[in-house]
Amino acid sequence: MKIIMLGAPGAGKGTRAAVIAEHYKIPHISTGDIFRANIKAGTELGLAAKGYIDQGLLVPDELTVKILLDRVSQDDCQDGYVLDGFPRNIPQAEVLDRELVKRGDAVDYAINVDVPDDVIVDRMAGRRACTKCGATYHVAFVPPAKEGICDKCGGELVLRNDDAPETVNNRLQVYHEQTQPLIDFYTAKGVLKNVDGTGDVKNALKDIIDILG
């Protein structure tokens, strides 16, 4: 079962990807994790990616797909995988689709975690991160025992710049311009499935099993 997770920043696609991976016993694959692993291991692909990253440039789609395909060719992906964070736009999706076709393969499902923009802004505005250990909380859903203080290390909890409403709105605008067209792309292929991302994450597995079986 080969699955792609779609959804706006803060929609909860990463959380649901982890739930899917655990239930179906398949790897949860993040492009960021793949880059870091290849760079740390000093692989040829990793060194090529590092050359772009060190210059502050985006890694080209073709190279990203090569690194991704190398990862999904490993033994633990024989029964499938969940892709989290790729593709982010139509060109990336087209490159991935083309390379999978060469292997006689294809994406089985693209799961879109659907959450209205205003809910995402409110949700992310409630996030707090520890300045010492990086632990994260939410003032409404996962509050610390003592307001403003990290349970783990006693550090100060702050609202990160990335979670500020203005920044979140900017990120959502980029998402709608670049990433949301993927919904049409995978709808046309007949593999798109929508899940409601506004509900309790505890019910996420049931919603997904209802879709995937």
Active site residue ranges? 13, 88, 127, 160, 171
The residues facing 157 across adjacent strands are 130
User: Rounded to an integer, what distance in angstroms lies between the CA atom of residue 82 and that of residue 116?
Assistant: 23
Beta pairing class for 127-130 and 157-158: antiparallel
Q: How many beta carbons lie within 10 A of that of residue 122, not counting itself?
A: 14
DSSP string, 157-196: EE--GGGSHHHHHHHHHHIIIIITHHHHHHHHTT-EEEEE
Q: With contact defined as beta carbons under 8 Å apart, do 113 and 201 qualify?
A: no
Q: How many beta carbons lie within 10 A of that of residue 160, not counting itself?
A: 13
User: Rounded to an integer, what distance in angstroms lies between the CA atom of residue 112 and that of residue 11?
Assistant: 9
Q: With contact defined as beta carbons under 8 Å apart, do 90 and 181 qualify?
A: yes
Q: In this structure, what are the phi and psi dihedrals at residue 165, rounded to the nearest 5 degrees?
A: -50, -45
